[in-house]
């Protein structure tokens, strides 16, 4: 069933990982998807494989001017926006005392500030239309204080709060806001995990694929309009935290 037939979605960080899996799932459900990423070459490769309903939009979200042009770029290509999947993010772990200050700034900017700016950018359009869906990629680290990732976990706690506040602000406008909070996902972000933690997770089977997160996102988007899935936590069954 193509339950998203006719819908226009924008996915940030769409060239790989959860963003790409989310894009593929939405396309399979009938949507047209604008893939937002800074990696132009990767976008070209992915969109040529996915077909004409996959539309590339090259934006460096850490550039304030480019970030502010997200909605304008989407509307120039599609004319409307029904779904925003604010997925772009990065990861750092380890002891805070050993963490580079520039790295902290970059991660908090991408994981927190950019998401807030993206939502701020698109909601006037959705309010005018009286409908819309916003899904934020959070993390199980936004629900539990993870001692080996104090900065990352803090950024995802911020997203848990942001999603809950924006859901309350926007429900009167017909806009649903929710987040998907995965456990460890097999992606490039895990390259920054402490080696011992990654080894143990692999040995225990405590990892999930991006597609399994995308399945949860499709579930959220295809509920009746009177139902909001505020947060789904998606864990590998062998993950103990």
The CA-CA-CA angle for residues 241, 160, 216, to 5°, reads: 70
* CA distance linking residue 114 with residue 88, whole number of Å: 8
Task: Spell 82-99 as b/e; 16+ CB within 10 A means b.
Answer: bbbbbbbbbbbbeeeeee
On whether the CB atoms of residues 91 and 17 are closer than 8 A, the answer is no
152, 159, 182, 208: the catalytic one is 152
* CA distance linking residue 81 with residue 60, whole number of Å: 20
Active site residue 152: yes
Kindly tell me the burial class for residue 151, based on how many C-beta atoms sit within 10 Å of its own C-beta (0-12, 13-18, 19 or more): middle
Give the residue numbers marked as catalytic: 152
């Amino acid at each position: 069933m193509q339950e998203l037939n006719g819908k226009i979605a924008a996915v940030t960080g769409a060239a790989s990982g959860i963003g790409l899996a989310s894009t593929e799932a939405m396309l399979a459900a009938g949507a047209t998807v604008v893939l937002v990423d800074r990696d132009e070459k990767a976008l070209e490769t992915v969109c040529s494989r996915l077909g004409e309903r996959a539309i590339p939009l090259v934006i460096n979200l850490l550039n304030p001017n480019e970030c502010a042009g997200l909605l304008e770029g989407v509307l120039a290509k599609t004319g409307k926006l029904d779904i925003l999947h604010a997925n772009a993010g990065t990861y750092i772990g380890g002891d805070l005392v050993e963490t580079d200050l520039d790295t902290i700034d970059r991660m908090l900017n991408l994981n927190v500030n950019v998401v807030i700016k993206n939502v701020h950018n698109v909601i006037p359009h959705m309010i005018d239309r009286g409908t819309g869906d916003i899904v934020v990629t959070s993390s199980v680290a936004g629900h539990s204080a993870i001692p080996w990732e104090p900065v990352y976990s803090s950024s995802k706690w911020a997203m848990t709060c942001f999603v809950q506040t924006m859901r309350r602000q926007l429900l009167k406008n017909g806009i649903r806001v929710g987040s998907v909070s995965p456990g460890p996902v097999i992606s490039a972000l895990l390259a920054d995990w402490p080696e011992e933690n990654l080894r143990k997770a692999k040995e225990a089977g405590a990892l999930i694929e991006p597609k399994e997160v995308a399945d949860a996102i499709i579930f959220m988007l295809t509920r009746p309009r009177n139902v909001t899935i505020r947060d789904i936590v998606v864990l590998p069954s062998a993950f103990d935290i």
